[in-house]
Structures are given as C-alpha cells and as structure tokens.
Amino acid sequence: MSVFLHAIETAVPPHVYPQSVIREVMKAQPELDRLGQRIVGTIFNASGIDQRHSAIGEFKRGPDEAAGLFYDPATRQMLKPTTGARNEFYIVEASRLFVQAARQVMAASPSLQPGDITHVVTVSCTGFFAPGPDYAVVRALGLRPDVQRFHVGFMGCYAAFPALKMAKAFCEADPTAVVLVVSAELCTLHMHASNDPDTLIASSVFADGAAAALVSARRPSPGTPVLRMDHFETTLTPAGVGEADMAWTIGDQGYDMVLSTYVPSIIETHISGALVPLLARDPALAEAVHSQIEHWAIHPGGRSILDKVQGALNLSAEQLQPSREVLREYGNMSSATVLFILRSLLHSAHDEERVCAMAFGPGLTVESGLLTKLSGLD
C-alpha cells in the first residue's frame, strides 16, 4: 500500500535579519576577544546564508529604545535570560508557529477537512511545555477530541524523519488514517556569544521556522502533486565518531548548541555507507550511482556540509540547488528545514522522478528517505 505526502506548507516568524546584521551584533559582544571577533567575520561571511528569520524582534531596536529580554540596543549587548525565561518565550511564539503552519497545510489540501485528521505528530527540540504543541494544534484547528497525539522532542535536526516514519506506519496500519505532522523550531532563542568556534558556527547558522505536512494513504485527485513515501532508513556513524561533534544540551542560560568544525568531514567520510541500506530497498537503485537519483533534499546544517555531500556523492550543482536555496533564504531551522526543501521539490520535480532526502543530527545520526513525485493517480 502506498502512503503519500499530500501537502507541505511552511511558516516563519515576522522578524527577518540580514546575516550581516547578526554578524555585527555578535562581533560587538564583550565576551569575544580580538581573535574571536575576526573568527566571527570569517564564519558568518562563509555561511552561505543571506538572511534568517527569528521570533525575536529586539535586534531591530534603535539605541534610544528599551532593552528587551534578549538584547539591549543602548549597549549593543546580548542579554542572558535564564533557560526558564527563554522557555516562557518559546511557549508563546512556538505555539503561534505550530498553529500557523498547521492551518496553512490544511488550507493547501481542501480535499482533507479537520474532521478527517486522525493523528497529530508535533516536532521540536528548542523548548518544552505541557499540554504541548500537539494539544495546541488540536484545539486551535478544532480537530476531534479523540485525535491521537504524539510529540517528537529533543532529537535535533533529523527529527522530521522519525515523525514522517510514524505517520507512514500509522497509515499502513489503518488505510483511513490522516496524519498531520507539524515541526516548529525557535533556535535563535538560544544564540549566545563565545570565543569557541563551534559555538560561533552554531550561532551563525541556526534560525527559526516551522513546516507542516499531511500524510495519508488516500489516493490523490488527478493532477494533484504528491510525494509517495517509499522507504526510510536510520543509521549511526561508528561508535565514538561524531558523538560530541553535534550536540544539544540544556544549560542555565538556554540550550548549548554545538556544531563542530569536524562535522562536514565526518559526513563526507560516512555518507555513502549510510545510504547503502536505503538504496538497497529499491532494486533499481541498489547498483546505481548517486547522481542518477534526480533530486536530493539534503538538510543544510551549513554550507560546508552541503559542499562535502555534493563532492562525496558526485552530485551536480543543480541537484543541491534546492538545499542551498533554503539555506540561503532561511538558514538552518533544525528539524523543519528538510520539509522546506521537500515542499520545493513537491512543486518542481516531474512525475515519476525520485527524491532522496537526508538529515544529520546528534549521535551522529543519519536519517534518509526515498520518495517519488506523482501528480495524481488514475
């Protein structure tokens, strides 16, 4: 039985910052020594990011305006709210994004009504609250009170894949199931200054955003674009490789994000092997070269990661273009990011073309999936 991604929609908070603005804010922080200030310029300028969205609007304030929770424009200093204060901000702003993305994906698929939704799966690693975002979505959209709810928390950048796999399994178990998957991340709530290059890399790439998808085994109407969800796989790099290079821990002043300079090289070394189990699921691809798969949705953890993936798999610039474009326009929105890329491919790929999607996260964990673009079924 086939299961389909019927629609994908995205949402971002209202505040958008050119990368150069956040670079200058970071350079002005007293924690940075002279070397740190030079490193900031190099890291931000080489990020491949033009702009990022944030739920925080304070970095736009002029010097005569009052300080906020995260930034004092008079001193140009980033403030240090507690983890609790940041989480209170997350509860309000993330809830808005979860609901906005969910409403948009329902509007994009008029053949599915709120009463059709049987399961809700929410995804986030940048905050917690209960009743959680799954509850907020059910209430805001007027879904049935018996909708089954699940939350995928604190898994990092690859977490959309477990959510999609759950949705696929629900639909395979019950052909009448309709699953609403919603991811929302407010990574910028945890941005802070440091002379540590790994911390600065994280601060240079992470951004805020949300995405929602509708998953069902229902046959789409003729002419309606869908992505058939063919296969998914999970793998880990060898024990001891990458475990400390991509991390996400809770500190007293927010979450401590680590994106080591070694991550791109680790991915370059292990990505081909990580794809073997996935491609072995399809006899037509088991012996194929990677470039024969028409489209790639690679989570853009950073520009260097995309560079290494492109080189290791011998992919063309065109095949990496959707991933680079999302990085350029939005930055790394953790778990939501790959859904932004899949949305682009849902509308740009041709019928019967294959899509290989991948994301990387703490562990170092590699999640991958094969999908096929279709435009309705006769």
Considering only residues 35 and 13, tell me which one the structure prediction assigns the higher pLDDT: 13
User: What does the alpha-carbon distance between residue 115 and residue 32 come to, in Å, rounded to a whole number?
Assistant: 53
109-125 pLDDT tens trace: 998 999 999 999 999 99
Domain containing residue 236: 225-375
Is it the case that residue 182 has pLDDT exceeding 90? yes
Task: Specify if 265 maps to a domain.
Answer: yes
Give the pLDDT score at 217.
97
Percent of the chain surpassing pLDDT 90: 81
pLDDT confidence tier of residue 41, bands split at 50, 70 and 90: very high
Residue 378 reports pLDDT greater than 60: no
Omega before residue 342 within 30° of 0, cis? no
Summarize pLDDT for 267-316 with one digit per residue, the tens.
888 899 999 999 999 998 988 899 999 999 999 999 999 999 999 999 99
For 86, 128, 204, 308, the CA distances from 250, given in Å and listed in that order, are 12, 12, 19, 29
Give alpha helix (H) positions in 51-189: 83-107, 133-141, 160-173
Residue 347 placed within a domain: yes
Does residue 312 form part of some domain?
Answer: yes
Lowest mean pLDDT among 66-80, 170-184, 242-256: 242-256
pLDDT grade for 260, boundaries at 50, 70 and 90: confident
- 316/311 Cα distance (integer angstroms): 9
Q: In this predicted structure, what is the pLDDT of residue 173?
A: 98
Q: Which residues of 273-303 are buried (b: 16+ CB within 10 A; e: fewer)?
A: ebbeebbeeeeebeeeebeebbbbbbbbbbb
Q: What are phi and psi of 193, to 5 degrees?
A: -85, 150
pLDDT at 99 over 60: yes
Please report whether residue 205 resides in a domain.
Answer: no
Say how far apart CA 272 and CA 79 lie, in whole Å.
43
241 band by pLDDT with thresholds 50, 70 and 90: low
pLDDT of residue 247: 74
Position 140, amino acid: A
**Is 312 exposed, middle or buried (CB count within 10 Å of its CB: 0-12, 13-18, 19+)?**
middle
Structural domain contains residue 272: yes
pLDDT at 377 over 70: no
Domain for residue 81, yes or no? Answer: no
Token digits of residue 311: 């080189």
Flag whether pLDDT at 156 surpasses 70: yes
376 pLDDT higher than 60: yes
pLDDT score at 18:
98
Asked if the structure places residue 280 within a domain, the reply is yes
Please write the tens of the pLDDT for every residue from 7-22: 999 999 999 999 999 9
Q: Is 85 part of any domain? A: no
Q: Can you read off the two tokens belonging to residue 94?
A: 């993330």
The question of whether 157 is a catalytic residue gets the answer yes
Please pick, among 157, 171, 187, 356, the residue that the annotation labels catalytic: 157
pTM: 0.96
CB 61 within 8 A of CB 74: no
Q: Would you give the distance in Å from CA 115 to the centre of its chain?
A: 28
> How many domains does the chain divide into?
1
Percent of the chain with pLDDT over 70: 97
Beta bridge partners of 256: 249
Instruction: State how far Cα 27 lies from the chain centre.
Output: 27
**Residue 287: predicted pLDDT:** 86
**pLDDT confidence bin for 239, thresholds 50/70/90:** low
CATH number at residue 317: 3.40.47.10
